Amino acid sequence: MISTPHANVHANSNASGRLVFIVDDDVALVEALSDLLREEGYAVEAHTDVTGALERLHAGIKPDVVLLDYLMPGMNGRDFLVELEREGIDVPVMLFTAMNESRVQVPKRNVRAVIRKPFDLERLLQELSSVP
């Protein structure tokens, strides 16, 4: 799921408390990614379904970026993005998928990157640090 080519990943100075929502139905992935991002200095709020993340957004909690799985049971990543667009919520999203990027059909407004699973941690950290 997560490839870590270098065991020595250094804390990212751009991370400093930035809030990342992780939205993925794979509990093991969510836990591992949460731990890794916290080690890098990010604040993390993990959700195993879209509904929980949307409730937090509607409550006024605004993450600096959302790491979002595309395919999930019930509401999926596409549904989440459609809801963001409908509500006018502007938050950067990095979309995870095992699918070929050309098959991913989503509103592009909030999507900053589409990252294929399994993904490389170094690339993910680079993408995260590039989000303003």
User: Strand pairing of 2-3 and 119-120?
Assistant: parallel
Provide the whole-model pTM.
0.85
CATH of the domain at 30: 3.40.50.2300
Give 1-51 pLDDT, tens digit per residue. 443 433 334 445 567 889 999 999 999 999 999 999 999 999 999 999 999
Burial 11-21 (b: 16+ CB within 10 A, else e): ebebbeebebb
Query: Is 5 a domain residue?
Result: no
Instruction: Identify the domain containing residue 76 by its residue range.
Output: 15-130
Give 88-120 pLDDT, tens digit per residue. 999 999 988 876 666 666 667 788 888 888 888
Report the candidate in 42, 46, 36 with the shortest Cα–Cα distance to residue 15: 42
Give 49-80 pLDDT, tens digit per residue. 999 999 999 999 999 999 999 889 999 898 99
- Domains contained in the chain, number: 1
User: Strand pairing of 65-69 and 43-47?
Assistant: unpaired
Torsion angles phi and psi, residue 131, rounded to 5: -80, 125
